[in-house]
């Protein structure tokens, strides 16, 4: 399942090159690279945002994808990264926040479930258990998109967890939280109550990922929840401007483009038609 969920962008080779050749670690867009630290300690990092992405371990996903699709020469290196990170951060509070945990555990699962390296199975179980307990703890759960990320990761983690009873409990909690999120954050018409087109789109991106996981697990959502999601996709498509930007309402930024994969094709065609029509009379 994990190979169908993991998403990677075209710049992953650039990030790997910087990590291996320049000894620089990519953090996120609009933030500078930081010096590669093979011990994976974070004492030199003062910026909270950098800490979050440092502990998300995107490089594990990049190297794993490279190994599965290009050449597996970095498989042992990736395993070493995971072991070193775990040794340094198993009990480091900086490493245990909802965003880092939700992203990192997927990268770990992606590696362990696809590698041909003979790894320590007990270590893998320890990693799964620690992340599972964090995601299950209501004290860690966030009533926002970060919580939605946690739901997605909890469902996937549960699928790979060896304990069937724990797996069922985790699935049940994740689905319950997901349903509550939909009812709490969206109106019955499918409008995100944050009233920000960008936030609406971000939520739908993660919702689509959760739905993909649920489909693979053959878990059905209620008619009520499915209707809200359906309406939210329709609403998002109506927000798209002729140039395919989102309107700058609330804290939406100009550079954000709509994700056409999650909206209805009929509305895309209407917007495209409108774009060429207005362009032809000089409005764009």
Residue 41: per-residue pLDDT: 97
Q: How many domains does the chain have?
A: 2
Q: Is residue 181 domain-resident?
A: no
**What is the per-residue pLDDT for 255?**
41
Q: Are residues 128 and 260 in the same domain?
A: no
Model pLDDT, residue 253: 58
Per-residue pLDDT at 280: 46
Residue 253's contacts (CB-CB under 8 Å, 6 or more residues apart) are: 198
Residue 123 placed within a domain = yes
Q: Please tell me the predicted confidence (pLDDT) of residue 273.
A: 40
pTM check: above 0.75: yes
Residues 138, 8, single domain; the answer is yes
Q: How far is CA 141 from the centre of its chain?
A: 16
Is 169 within a domain? no
Distance CA 51, CA 181 (A): 27
pLDDT of residue 281: 46
Query: Do 136 and 5 belong to one domain?
Result: yes
Query: Do 139 and 224 lie in a common domain?
Result: no
pLDDT of amino acid 237: 77
Query: Looking at the domain assignment, is residue 172 inside a domain?
Result: no
Q: For the chain, which residues score pLDDT lower than 50?
A: 254-257, 265-284
pLDDT for position 94? 97
Q: What is the pLDDT of residue 200?
A: 83
**Structural domain for 266, as ranges:** 186-284
């Amino acid at each position: 399942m994990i190979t169908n969920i993991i998403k990677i962008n075209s710049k992953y080779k650039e990030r790997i090159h910087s990590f291996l050749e320049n000894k620089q670690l990519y953090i996120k867009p609009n933030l500078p690279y930081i010096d590669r630290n093979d011990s994976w300690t974070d004492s030199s990092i003062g910026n909270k945002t950098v800490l979050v992405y440092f502990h998300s371990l995107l490089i594990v996903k990049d190297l794993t994808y490279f190994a599965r699709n290009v050449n597996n020469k970095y498989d042992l290196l990736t395993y070493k990264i995971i072991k070193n990170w775990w040794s340094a951060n198993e009990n480091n509070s900086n490493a245990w926040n909802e965003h880092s945990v939700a992203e990192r555990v997927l990268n770990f699962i992606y590696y362990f479930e696809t590698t041909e390296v003979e790894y320590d199975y007990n270590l893998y179980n320890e990693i799964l258990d620690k992340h599972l307990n964090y995601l299950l703890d209501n004290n860690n759960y966030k009533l926002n998109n970060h919580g939605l990320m946690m739901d997605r990761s909890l469902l996937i983690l549960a699928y790979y967890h060896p304990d069937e009873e724990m797996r069922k409990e985790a699935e049940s909690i994740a689905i319950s939280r997901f349903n509550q999120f939909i009812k709490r954050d969206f109106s019955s018409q499918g409008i995100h109550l944050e009233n920000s087109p960008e936030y609406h789109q971000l939520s739908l991106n993660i919702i689509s990922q959760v739905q993909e996981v649920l489909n693979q697990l053959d878990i059905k959502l209620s008619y009520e929840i499915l209707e809200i999601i359906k309406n939210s996709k329709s609403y998002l498509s109506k927000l798209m401007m002729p140039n395919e930007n989102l309107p700058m309402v609330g804290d939406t930024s100009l550079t954000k483009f709509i994700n056409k994969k999650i909206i209805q094709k009929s509305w895309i065609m209407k917007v495209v038609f409108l774009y060429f029509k207005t362009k032809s009379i000089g409005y764009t």
